[in-house]
Chains A and B, each alone.
Chain A
Amino acid sequence: MSLFFSQLFNGLTTGLLLALISTGLTIIYGTLGVINFAHGALFVVGGYAGYTVYGLTDSFVLALAGGSAVALACGLVMERGLMRKFYSRPPEDQILVTFGLSIILIEIIRGIYGGVSLSVSPPEWGMGIARIGSLIYPMYRLETLAIAAVTLLVLYFILYRTSLGLVVRAGIEDAQMVDALGINIKRAFLVVFGLGAMAAGFAGVVNSPIVALTPDMGFRYLVESFVVVVIGGVGSFPGAIVGGIIAGEILSLTAMVNPQYSDVMLFVAMALVLVFRPQGLMGQEGRE
Chain B
Amino acid sequence: MSSVHTTTAASAASARSVKQAGGGGLVMRGRLPEMWVGLGLVLAPFVLPAIGMSPDLLTRILILGLFGLGFDLLFGYTGLLSFGQAAFFGTGGFVTAYLLTDGVVGNMLLALAIGTVVAAVTGLLIGYLTLRRTGIYFAMSTLAFGEMFFFMENSVFKEYTGGENGIAGVPSPEIALGFIHIKVSSGWPMYWFVALVFFVGYLIARRIVRSPFGAVLKAIQGNPKRAMALGHAIQSYKLMVFVVAAAYGGLAGGLLGLFQSYMPPDAFSLDTSAQLVIQTVMGGAGTLLGPLLGATIWLYLYDGLQQIGSLGPYWKLILGVVFVVLVTVFRRGVAGALIQFWQRTRTLPAHIDADASSKVASVLDIVPPLATTRPGAPVLEARGVSKHYGGLKANSDIDFTLREGELHGVIGPNGAGKSTFFAMLAGELPTTTGKVFFRGQEITGIGVTSVCQLGMSKSYQINQLFEHLTVRQNMMIPVLARLRGRYRSDLLRSLHSDHLDSQVNAAIALVDLSHHADTQVSEMSYGEKRRLEIGLALATGANVLLFDEPLAGLGPEERVLVVALLKSIRQGRSMVIVEHDMDAMFELAERITVLYEGRKLTEGTPDEIRRDPSVQAAYLGGMDDESA
What 12 additional pairs, Cβ within 8 angstroms, besides A95-B139, A111-B317, A230-B137? A96-B281, A97-B328, A111-B313, A226-B140, A260-B158, A261-B156, A267-B148, A271-B129, A274-B130, A274-B132, A274-B133, A275-B132
Q: Are B133 and A82 in touch, CB under 8 angstroms?
A: no
8 Å CB contacts to B: which residues of A232-279?
A: 234, 258, 260-261, 263-264, 267-268, 270-271, 274-275, 278
Residues of B near A103 (CB, < 8 A) are 316-317, 319-320, 323
Residues of A near B437 (CB, < 8 A) are none
**Interface of A, helix, strand, loop or mixed by DSSP:** helix
> Which of B133, B151, B328 is in CB contact (< 8 Å) with A278?
B133
Report Cα–Cα, A189/B151, bound state, in Å. 37
Shortest CB distance A22–B (Å): 12
Q: Are B323 and A223 in touch, CB under 8 angstroms?
A: no
Report Cα–Cα, A47/B148, bound state, in Å. 26
Task: Please tell me if B544 contacts chain A, counting CB pairs below 8 Å.
Answer: no
> Which of B79, B139, B277, B323 is in CB contact (< 8 Å) with A35?
B139
Q: Are A234 and B151 in touch, CB under 8 angstroms?
A: no
> Which of A92, A230, A261, A288 is in CB contact (< 8 Å) with B144?
A230
Task: Please tell me if B154 contacts chain A, counting CB pairs below 8 Å.
Answer: yes
Task: Please tell me if B81 contacts chain A, counting CB pairs below 8 Å.
Answer: yes
Task: Please tell me if B169 contacts chain A, counting CB pairs below 8 Å.
Answer: no
Q: Are B324 and A104 in touch, CB under 8 angstroms?
A: yes
Task: Please tell me if B47 contacts chain A, counting CB pairs below 8 Å.
Answer: no
Task: Please tell me if B152 contacts chain A, counting CB pairs below 8 Å.
Answer: yes
Task: Please tell me if B145 contacts chain A, counting CB pairs below 8 Å.
Answer: yes
Top 8 nearest A-B pairs (CB, nearest first) are A267-B148, A103-B320, A107-B317, A100-B324, A260-B155, A104-B320, A35-B136, A263-B151
Task: Please tell me if A20 contacts chain B, counting CB pairs below 8 Å.
Answer: no
> Which of A260, A270, A288 is in CB contact (< 8 Å) with B135?
A288
Q: Are A227 and B144 in touch, CB under 8 angstroms?
A: yes
Residues of B near A264 (CB, < 8 A) are 148, 151-152, 155-156
Task: Please tell me if B619 contacts chain A, counting CB pairs below 8 Å.
Answer: no
Report Cα–Cα, A268/B129, bound state, in Å. 11
Known: A103-B316, A260-B154, A264-B152. A234 touches B328 (CB 8 A): no
Q: Are B137 and A234 in touch, CB under 8 angstroms?
A: yes
> Which of A92, A101, A234, A275 is in CB contact (< 8 Å) with B324?
A101
Q: Are A85 and B323 in touch, CB under 8 angstroms?
A: no
The size class of the interface chain A forms with chain B is: 35 or more
Residues of A near B350 (CB, < 8 A) are none
Task: Please tell me if B321 contacts chain A, counting CB pairs below 8 Å.
Answer: yes
Shortest CB distance A101–B (Å): 6
Q: Are B328 and A107 in touch, CB under 8 angstroms?
A: no
Q: Are A93 and B316 in touch, CB under 8 angstroms?
A: no
> Which of B147, B156, B317, B324 is in CB contact (< 8 Å) with A223?
B147
Q: Are A271 and B145 in touch, CB under 8 angstroms?
A: yes
Report Cα–Cα, A156/B135, bound state, in Å. 26
Report Cα–Cα, A267/B140, bound state, in Å. 12
The chain A residue with its CB closest to the CB of B149 is: A267
Question: Which of A110, A229, A234, A263 lies at the interface centre, i.e. has the most chain B CB atoms within 10 A of its CB?
Answer: A263
Residues of A near B156 (CB, < 8 A) are 261, 264
Residues of A near B324 (CB, < 8 A) are 82, 97, 100-101, 104
Task: Please tell me if B508 contacts chain A, counting CB pairs below 8 Å.
Answer: no
Task: Please tell me if B342 contacts chain A, counting CB pairs below 8 Å.
Answer: no
Report Cα–Cα, A268/B149, bound state, in Å. 11
Q: Are A223 and B270 in touch, CB under 8 angstroms?
A: yes
Residues of A near B139 (CB, < 8 A) are 35, 91-92, 95
Q: Are B328 and A85 in touch, CB under 8 angstroms?
A: yes
Task: Please tell me if A137 contacts chain B, counting CB pairs below 8 Å.
Answer: no
Q: Are A99 and B135 in touch, CB under 8 angstroms?
A: no
Residues of B near A97 (CB, < 8 A) are 324, 327-328
Task: Please tell me if A219 contacts chain B, counting CB pairs below 8 Å.
Answer: yes
> Which of A95, A104, A274 is in CB contact (< 8 Å) with B81?
A95
What 1/0 mask marks residues of chain B from 257 to 278 whose CB sits below 8 Å from any chain A CB? 0000000000000100010011
Shortest CB distance B11–A (Å): 33
Report Cα–Cα, A160/B81, bound state, in Å. 32
Report Cα–Cα, A227/B129, bound state, in Å. 14
Q: Are A104 and B281 in touch, CB under 8 angstroms?
A: no
Report Cα–Cα, A80/B361, bound state, in Å. 55
Task: Please tell me if A29 contacts chain B, counting CB pairs below 8 Å.
Answer: yes
**Interface of B, helix, strand, loop or mixed by DSSP:** helix
Q: Are B144 and A267 in touch, CB under 8 angstroms?
A: yes
> Which of A100, A111, A229 is in CB contact (< 8 Å) with B327?
A100
Report Cα–Cα, A261/B156, bound state, in Å. 8
Task: Please tell me if B331 contacts chain A, counting CB pairs below 8 Å.
Answer: yes
Q: Which residues of A approach B to under 8 Å, CB–CB?
A: 29, 35, 82, 85, 91-97, 99-101, 103-104, 107-108, 110-111, 219, 223, 226-227, 229-230, 234, 258, 260-261, 263-264, 267-268, 270-271, 274-275, 278, 288
Q: Are B129 and A275 in touch, CB under 8 angstroms?
A: yes
Residues of B near A226 (CB, < 8 A) are 140-141, 143-144
The chain B residue with its CB closest to the CB of A275 is: B129
Residues of B near A104 (CB, < 8 A) are 317, 320-321, 324
> Which of B130, B143, B314, B328 is in CB contact (< 8 Å) with A82?
B328
Residues of A near B143 (CB, < 8 A) are 223, 226
Report Cα–Cα, A91/B155, bound state, in Å. 34
The chain A residue with its CB closest to the CB of B136 is: A35
Shortest CB distance A216–B (Å): 9
The chain B residue with its CB closest to the CB of A222 is: B143
Report Cα–Cα, A226/B143, bound state, in Å. 9
Task: Please tell me if B414 contacts chain A, counting CB pairs below 8 Å.
Answer: no
What 1/0 mask marks residues of chain B from 313 to 348 whose CB sits below 8 Å from any chain A CB? 110110111011001100100000000000000000
Known: A223-B270, A271-B129. A99 touches B140 (CB 8 A): no
The size class of the interface chain B forms with chain A is: 35 or more
Task: Please tell me if B134 contacts chain A, counting CB pairs below 8 Å.
Answer: yes
Residues of B near A29 (CB, < 8 A) are 136
Q: Are A93 and B327 in touch, CB under 8 angstroms?
A: yes
Residues of B near A107 (CB, < 8 A) are 314, 316-317, 320
> Which of A100, A270, A278 is in CB contact (< 8 Å) with B323?
A100
Shortest CB distance A168–B (Å): 18
Shortest CB distance A148–B (Å): 22
Residues of A near B133 (CB, < 8 A) are 274, 278, 288
Residues of A near B155 (CB, < 8 A) are 258, 260-261, 263-264
8 Å CB contacts to A: which residues of B52-84?
A: 75, 79, 81
Report Cα–Cα, A77/B278, bound state, in Å. 23
Report Cα–Cα, A103/B323, bound state, in Å. 9
Report Cα–Cα, A188/B75, bound state, in Å. 33
Residues of A near B314 (CB, < 8 A) are 107, 111
Shortest CB distance A260–B (Å): 4
Report Cα–Cα, A107/B311, bound state, in Å. 13
Residues of A near B154 (CB, < 8 A) are 260
Question: Which of B143, B144, B327, B328 lies at the interface centre, i.e. has the most chain A CB atoms within 10 A of its CB?
Answer: B327
The 12 sampled A-B contact pairs (Cβ below 8 Å) are: A94-B136, A96-B327, A100-B323, A107-B314, A258-B155, A263-B147, A263-B148, A263-B155, A264-B148, A267-B145, A275-B129, A288-B137
Shortest CB distance B258–A (Å): 28
Shortest CB distance A198–B (Å): 22
8 Å CB contacts to A: which residues of B68-118?
A: 75, 79, 81
Residues of B near A219 (CB, < 8 A) are 270
Residues of B near A268 (CB, < 8 A) are 148
The chain A residue with its CB closest to the CB of B322 is: A100
Shortest CB distance A144–B (Å): 24
Residues of B near A95 (CB, < 8 A) are 81, 136, 139
The chain A residue with its CB closest to the CB of B75 is: A92
Question: Which of A85, A103, A227, A234 lies at the interface centre, i.e. has the most chain B CB atoms within 10 A of its CB?
Answer: A103
Shortest CB distance B118–A (Å): 19
Q: Are B132 and A278 in touch, CB under 8 angstroms?
A: yes
Report Cα–Cα, A93/B278, bound state, in Å. 12
Shortest CB distance B85–A (Å): 14
The chain B residue with its CB closest to the CB of A29 is: B136
Shortest CB distance B286–A (Å): 12
Report Cα–Cα, A287/B136, bound state, in Å. 11
Known: A219-B270, A223-B270, A264-B151. A234 touches B140 (CB 8 A): yes
